[in-house]
Amino acid sequence: MLSDINSPLDIKSLSYHELNSLASEIRRFIIKVVSKTGGHLAPNLGAVELTLAIHKVFNAPKDRIIWDVGHQSYTHKIITGRREKFHTLRQHKGISGFPHRKESEYDVFGTGHSSTSISAGLGISCARDLKNEDFEVICVIGDGAMTAGMAYEGINQTGFLKKKLIVILNDNHMSISENVGGMSRYLLKISTAPIYNELKKDVWELLGRLPPSLSERARLAARKLREGVKNLMIPTILFEELGLRYIGPFDGHNIPMLVEAFESVKNLEEPVLIHVLTEKGRGYEPARNNLPLFHGLGPFDIESGEPHKKGGPPTYTDVFGKTLCEIGEKNDKVVAITAAMPEGTGLCCFRERFKERFFDVGIAEQHAVTFASGMAIEGYVPVCAIYSTFLQRGFDQVIHDVALQNIPVVFCLDRAGLVGEDGPTHHGAFDISYLRMIPNMIVMSPKDENEFVDMLAVATDYRKGPIAIRYPRARAIGSTTKPTKIHIGKGEILRDGRDGFILAIGSMVYPSIEASDILKKKGFDVGVFNARFAKPIDGDTIIEIAQKTKNIITCEENALSGGFGSAVAELLIDKQIGVNLLRLGIPDRFIEHGARDILLKKIGLTGEGIAKKAEQFLKLDAD
């Protein structure tokens, strides 16, 4: 059946029986493709019927559907004209793993970071009313995404403005791991209130038995009855208190029930929240048995559910998790903080070993930062492990609640640089720039896993103010160097050079050594300096190098604007040292999705790419 579905119009006339068959077919298709491309499997398997019901009732693209996070939008993509391209999911030049405005008119709003849908939806609703237009706005948000402050900021204004807006709460009781917090507990309480559910079932059955001629009035009466029951059983429905009508919970895999519920709110002229219960990973046993793993993963074997093994050194994430456990063993003041990413940041081991000293705050990066500050004030050593891209959410908190008061919080920024298949919403392209400009902040980045261990020791010992370590989404180098004591603001010269010098930081140090090797064969003697610190930079050594060679190349896996190269340029200008300067890094545009090595190659951040640009640069000097 799936091969006949080219637009949402094609599902409008399908019977419920056919829609259920289509749902099974879509599930098999998603599993097959994701097993090859990798992707967000479990969230998508849970949202198949929900998506079909939404598209059956609403008329996209006239009606605007906004997918929060967007990691559950595969069925939406498949039935909105992208079925044939679906095998290119997350591949370079293929379709994105998230809604993408350039990709389709059905993708109303680009997402990737969580909890933005209600705000965007409300903005669209207000614009619609100002324009006197008539369409529905539907926001689909998960229970995990409901842990972020931004969702409440959206709800707060929605309830106040009373705009017509449909919020569908896709509640599977899971974030990436078990969902956390009071809201999650509250949703569980609503959805499991036994008497309410029993009565609700009866009301639905009654509705089903009513003759069609009576059903509109009867439905109204039944709804009133249900409201009454609801308020009796759960006296303070939070959302209603905030100004949104609440209906549900509904079985998110029961298409007739969902269609009925969506139809019933179409004519409401007020904001409504429809609570839908879904099963993450539905229909695929391996995913059901390990939801955190199957939330998002690389290619895997469908039969066994085993991810394809990649050999090699541990990832930086693994090194972080293991090292922090060792540090935690020696220092009982060390506490670990994650914003809903214990697996992604490598903190599961710390969680198991030091339950009391582990804090999952939910998808709440802003809160995580200020919470860490509070712990530091009381003498703890908070290690706030947040992906580079998600710390963007906590920017003001880093300035106002940490740096301004010079509070010693350790920031560990995983996924710094290009992350690969998740694409521009997830690339950690900006952290050197956005941290470097903040007074009191120290920013460092290791060249390999051993230096990373050294830096973690430095960071957790440093009690004078905030300190950040950024590291890539990559396997480590397999380094065999011995631990060294790192001094804040000190880099190391790895090899000397007569014709020029590459000043590299973090993940770009080894490619720079490779570039230096290539250049050697071409007759250029180019040195390599491992900067270690983006702030404070090792001014003395850099000035020495600049005075010696006059040809300086900086190299970083961060945006060129405001990055490490900018820091070097500022230093040289401030000291009035004239050099030829070439800055290599992430150019001033958003980099699309695709395998990390392909993307790095494309923007010239490989040994060969660096050598090529360096050669042109050095030749200019020679001319």
Ligand X SMILES: Cc1ncc(C[n+]2csc(CCOP(=O)(O)OP(=O)(O)O)c2C)c(N)n1
Q: What residues are labeled active site?
A: 280, 365, 393
Nearest approach in angstroms of CB 282 to ligand X is 11
Nearest approach in angstroms of CB 432 to ligand X is 20
Nearer to ligand X, 154 or 585 (CB): 154
Please give the C-alpha separations between residue 259 and each of 12, 134, 267, 604, in angstroms, as whole numbers.
11, 20, 14, 51
Query: SS3 of 507, please?
Result: helix
Measured over the CA atoms of residue 391, residue 396, residue 401 and residue 403, the dihedral's sign is positive
Nearest approach in angstroms of CB 364 to ligand X is 8
Nearer to ligand X, 113 or 200 (CB): 113
Beta-carbon contacts of 196 under 8 Å, excluding residues fewer than 6 positions away, are 190, 229, 230, 233, 234
Q: How many residues does the chain have?
A: 623
Q: Determine the interface stretch with ligand X among 168-176, 246-254, 433-441, 466-474 (rule: CB under 6 A).
A: 168-176
Nearest approach in angstroms of CB 420 to ligand X is 15
Q: Given candidates 80, 125, 158, 172, which one binds ligand X under the rule CB under 6 A?
A: 172
Give yes or no for residue 564 binding ligand X (CB under 6 A).
no
Give yes or no for residue 252 binding ligand X (CB under 6 A).
no
Nearest approach in angstroms of CB 210 to ligand X is 34
| Number of residues located near ligand X, criterion CB under 6 A | 24
Give yes or no for residue 144 binding ligand X (CB under 6 A).
yes
Give yes or no for residue 145 binding ligand X (CB under 6 A).
yes
Nearer to ligand X, 393 or 447 (CB): 393
Give me the 124-143 binding string for ligand X, x by CB under 6 A, dash otherwise: ------------------xx
Q: Calculate the CA dihedral of residues 467, 346, 358, 177 and round it to 10 degrees.
A: 130
Please give the C-alpha separations between residue 589 and each of 424, 559, 566, in angstroms, as whole numbers.
10, 9, 17
Q: Given candidates 163, 393, 583, 596, which one binds ligand X under the rule CB under 6 A?
A: 393
Token pair for 338: 């994650």
- Whose tokens are 């270690």? That residue is 532
278 closest CA partner among 27, 15, 20, 46: 46
Beta-carbon contacts of 521 under 8 Å, excluding residues fewer than 6 positions away, are none
Nearest approach in angstroms of CB 90 to ligand X is 15
Nearer to ligand X, 70 or 511 (CB): 70
Query: How many CB atoms within 10 Å of residue 88?
Result: 15
Nearer to ligand X, 50 or 442 (CB): 50
Nearer to ligand X, 175 or 315 (CB): 175
User: Taking the mean position of all CA atoms in its chain, how far away is CA 618?
Assistant: 40
What beta strand segments (E) does 30-165 contain?
64-67, 137-142
Residue 195: burial class (beta carbons within 10 Å; 0-12, 13-18, 19+): exposed
Q: Given candidates 371, 390, 533, 564, which one binds ligand X under the rule CB under 6 A?
A: 390
Give yes or no for residue 563 binding ligand X (CB under 6 A).
no
Give yes or no for residue 473 binding ligand X (CB under 6 A).
no
Nearest approach in angstroms of CB 464 to ligand X is 29
Kindly identify the residues of this chain, within the stretch 310-339, that bind ligand X according to CB under 6 A: 339
C-alpha 378/C-alpha 374 separation (Å) is 7
C-alpha 521/C-alpha 513 separation (Å) is 13
Beta-carbon contacts of 98 under 8 Å, excluding residues fewer than 6 positions away, are 69, 70, 71, 73, 110, 111, 112, 422, 423, 425
Give me the 269-298 binding string for ligand X, x by CB under 6 A, dash otherwise: -----------x--------------x---
Kindly identify the residues of this chain, within the stretch 88-117, that bind ligand X according to CB under 6 A: 113-114
C-alpha 553/C-alpha 302 separation (Å) is 47
C-alpha 476/C-alpha 507 separation (Å) is 9
Nearest approach in angstroms of CB 503 to ligand X is 33
Nearer to ligand X, 149 or 489 (CB): 149
C-alpha 591/C-alpha 424 separation (Å) is 6
Nearest approach in angstroms of CB 296 to ligand X is 8
Q: Given candidates 45, 53, 124, 174, which one binds ligand X under the rule CB under 6 A?
A: 174
Q: Given candidates 168, 363, 403, 528, which one binds ligand X under the rule CB under 6 A?
A: 363
Give yes or no for residue 43 binding ligand X (CB under 6 A).
yes
Strand order in the sheet with 551-559: 492-495, 526-530, 500-504, 551-559, 580-586
Q: Determine the interface stretch with ligand X among 169-177, 298-306, 315-323, 468-476 (rule: CB under 6 A).
A: 169-177
Q: Given candidates 319, 340, 519, 572, which one binds ligand X under the rule CB under 6 A?
A: 340
Residues that bind ligand X in the complex, under the rule CB under 6 A: 43, 46, 69, 71-72, 113-114, 142-145, 172, 174-176, 280, 295, 339-341, 363, 365, 390, 393
